[in-house]
């Protein structure tokens, strides 16, 4: 009985955790003269939760998704409450393609070629700064200093 209660408590805790924003370690990134503080999602569970359930995000904050191997990465916005810009990024920090995503939709937004990294920022972030395909991001995940 005690084991069952413990399991129920753990299951409830996990369910609650998935209904709230996650807070992950951060890493500094750069985009030209612009500084970014990016939370790093590197596990399948962190990828799944992403920026879900957030009601806002700082002007230069985002989330960097890092996958084990390159692939065609596709994202959608189920349970994501804020509109986002998404950049699909090569290992050297070069932006492969950028897209805009609307909140609470299941529309897929995919990389134009296989990548291991994806950066989500507030909607319009890349466009407002003149960044797009071919622009370069810097920072430790890309093997360059920030």
* CATH code, domain with 65: 2.60.120.1140
User: Of 111 and 12, which is predicted with more confidence?
Assistant: 111
* Total of domains in the chain: 1
> Is residue 15 included in any domain, yes or no?
no
The pLDDT of residue 20 is 80
> Is residue 9 included in any domain, yes or no?
no
Answer yes or no: is pLDDT of 63 > 80. yes
> pTM score, two decimals?
0.86
Answer yes or no: is pLDDT of 91 > 60. yes
Mean pLDDT of 18-46: 94
Question: What's the domain range around 98?
Answer: 24-142
> Is residue 6 included in any domain, yes or no?
no
Mean pLDDT of 116-125: 98
> Is residue 17 included in any domain, yes or no?
no
Answer yes or no: is pLDDT of 73 > 90. yes
Mean pLDDT of 59-87: 97
> Is residue 12 included in any domain, yes or no?
no
Answer yes or no: is pLDDT of 18 > 70. no
**What ranges make up the beta strands (E) of the chain?**
26-31, 34-41, 61-71, 74-75, 84-89, 95-101, 109-110, 115-122, 137-138
> Is residue 75 included in any domain, yes or no?
yes
Answer yes or no: is pLDDT of 8 > 50. no
> Is residue 99 included in any domain, yes or no?
yes
What share of residues in the chain are helix, strand, coil (percent, to 5)? 20, 35, 40
């Amino acid at each position: 009985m005690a084991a069952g209660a413990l399991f129920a408590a753990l299951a409830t805790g996990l369910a609650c955790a998935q209904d709230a924003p996650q807070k992950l370690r951060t890493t500094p990134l750069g985009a030209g003269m612009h500084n970014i503080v990016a939370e790093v999602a590197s596990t399948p569970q962190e990828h799944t939760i992403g920026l879900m359930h957030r009601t806002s995000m700082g002007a230069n904050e985002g989330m960097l998704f890092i996958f084990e191997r390159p692939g065609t990465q596709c994202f959608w916005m189920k349970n994501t409450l804020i509109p986002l810009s998404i950049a699909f990024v090569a290992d050297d920090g070069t932006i492969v393609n950028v897209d805009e995503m609307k909140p609470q939709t299941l529309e897929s937004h995919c990389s134009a070629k296989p990548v291991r990294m994806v950066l989500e920022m507030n909607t319009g972030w890349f466009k407002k700064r003149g960044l797009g395909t071919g622009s370069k991001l810097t920072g430790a995940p890309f093997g360059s200093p920030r």
